Structure 1
Amino acid sequence: MTADVTTKTAGEPAASAPSAPLAPFRLDGRVALVTGSARGLGFEMAKALARAGARVAINGRDPGRLAAAAQAIAAGCGHEVETLAFDVADHAAASAAMAALQARHGRLDILVNNVGARDRRSLQDFTPAEAERLLATDLLAPMLLARQAAGYMAAQRHGRLITVTSIAGQVANRNDPVYTAAKAGLTGLMRALAVDHARDGVTSNAIAPGMFATETNQGLVDDAAFSAFVDVRVPMGRWGRPHEIGAAAVFLASDEASFVNGHVLTVDGGQTVRM
C-alpha cells in the first residue's frame, strides 16, 4: 500500500524552524503528525494541536473520512490540515508517508502515536496469528513510527514524542489480555525513548485515557447498566467528553512541558485511583 497524501483548504508557506519564545502553550511553526485521527480521541487531539498553531497532518485508512476530518479541523483553526492515508501496520507505507511529511516541511516536531485496535477476548481464544496482528498494530507500528520520528527530531535538536496508551496499561479488565499487554508495552517504550533521546532535545511522554464517550464506545454509552458502572467507578461520575483529551496533547507538545519526560499523564476522571 502506498501513502495517499493530500491537503485541504488554501495552502500556506511551509513551516519554518520554531521561533522562541512562543506564547504559552502555542505551537506556531511546529509540524505534527497524529495517527488514527479521522475520528475519536485522535481527531480531538489533532484539532487541539491545530488550534494551538501547529501544522497538523492527520492519518487514517479511509481517504474520504480523512478529508471530512481535515475540513472540520481546518474550519476551526484557519489554516491547512494535511491528510496521510495509510495503515500504520503497513510499515513501508507508514515510513514513506512520514518521510514525505518531513521532507515537505523540513522538520517534524510532534508525533502523537494514537492508533490502537482492540479485540476483547480471553487469551485462550486467540490464535498466535491473531495475537501477532493485534500487537503489530498496537505495539510494533508505533514503535517503528517513533523510531523514525526520533531520528528526525534528534537531527533538529527538538521534538515531542507522545504515545497514547490507556489506563488498560496500568490496570487490567477481564478478557482483554493482548490489548492490555500492548498498552503496557507502549508505556515501557515511551520511558525507554525518554532516556535514549533526552539529550537530543526530544521528550517522550504518554497520555493514558480512561473511559471516553467516543464513537467507538457509543454502544457502551447507550447501555444503561454500563453507564451505571461508570457512575460508580469514575469519581467524577461520568464518561470523559472527547474534547477533554485535547489540552493534554497540547501541554505535552508545548515548551511549557520542556522538563516533563518519561511521564504518563492519566486522563480518566480519577478512575485508576479509586479503591
Structure 2
Amino acid sequence: MSDKVLLVTFGDMPDGEPAHEVLDAAFAARGVDAPWVVWDDPAVDWNDGLVVVRSTWDYDFRLEEFLAWSRSVPRLLNGAAVFAWNTDKSYLTQLVEAGLPVVPTTVATAATVADAVAAYDRAVVKPTVGAGGRGVQIVEPGSRPELEGLEPWIVQPLLGSVHTEGETSVFVFGGQAISQYLKRPAPGSILVHEHLGGTSHGVPLDAEATDLAIRAVEGASDLLERHLPYARVDMMRLDDERLVVSELELVEPGLYLDVNADNAAPFVDMVLTHL
C-alpha cells in the first residue's frame, strides 16, 4: 500500500488552497509525498495513493462529472457516497430529522418557492448545489427570487445574527474539535466568504460550539453509516439564542491556513491515520 497522498484541487488553483505551503511543509516534515493534483486531469494515476480532496471549488458547475470522478477513485477520504450526499444542501433537512438544531430549511420547487419565502420577513434563497456563495439571494417582503429556470432551491429565514455575531465554524478531525473561527460578512452583505469581502479570525474553542460541531458530525456519520475523518461545521445563532447548524462541509472545506497555520498539523496527522 502506497504511503503517498494526492491532495486534490481544481484547474484555476493548481498549486492548492490558500497558504498551501503550510500543509506541504507539514506532510514533508512527516516524510510523506503529498503532491497537489487537479481532479479532472486525465494524466493523474488515482491508484497512486490516498486521495484527499482539498480545493475542488468548481464542483458545483460540474457536479455530475465531479461525482462520477469521485466514484472512480479507489481510496478517497470521506468517500464518494458522502460527497453525493453533502453536495446537495437538502441534507440539512435530514439533519433536522436526526434531531440536530439546524437553520430552518425548506426545499422548494418553482411551484412552492413563493409560499416558502412568504413564511419569513426576509428570506435567503440559494440553489441546493452551490459553493463560494454563488447563487445566494435575499428576498424582501413582496418580492420574488430570480429562479433562472433551475430547481429545487433552499429557502431559509435571514438570521439577524449574521450581522451582529457572524458565523461560527469548527473543524472536526478524527472526531475531535480542533479549532474555531468567527466569520463576518462585509457591510451590507450576508456572505462571509473572504473573496466577497468577509473576514475570518480564530477564536478559542467554546463548549457550545464544540458540542454542536461534534454532535453534527456524529449525526451525519449515523445517517451515512460511515466514519467521517474530516468536517467543518458552520453555525449561526438563531434569534440571538442557541447556535444552529448552517452548513456541514464534508467535501472540500478550506482549512483557513492563511488565518491559522496550526490547522495543518492536526489535519495531516488525521490523514496519516488512514494510510
**Shorter-normalised TM range:** 0.3 to 0.5
TM-score calculated relative to the size of structure 2: 0.33
TM-score calculated relative to the size of structure 1: 0.33
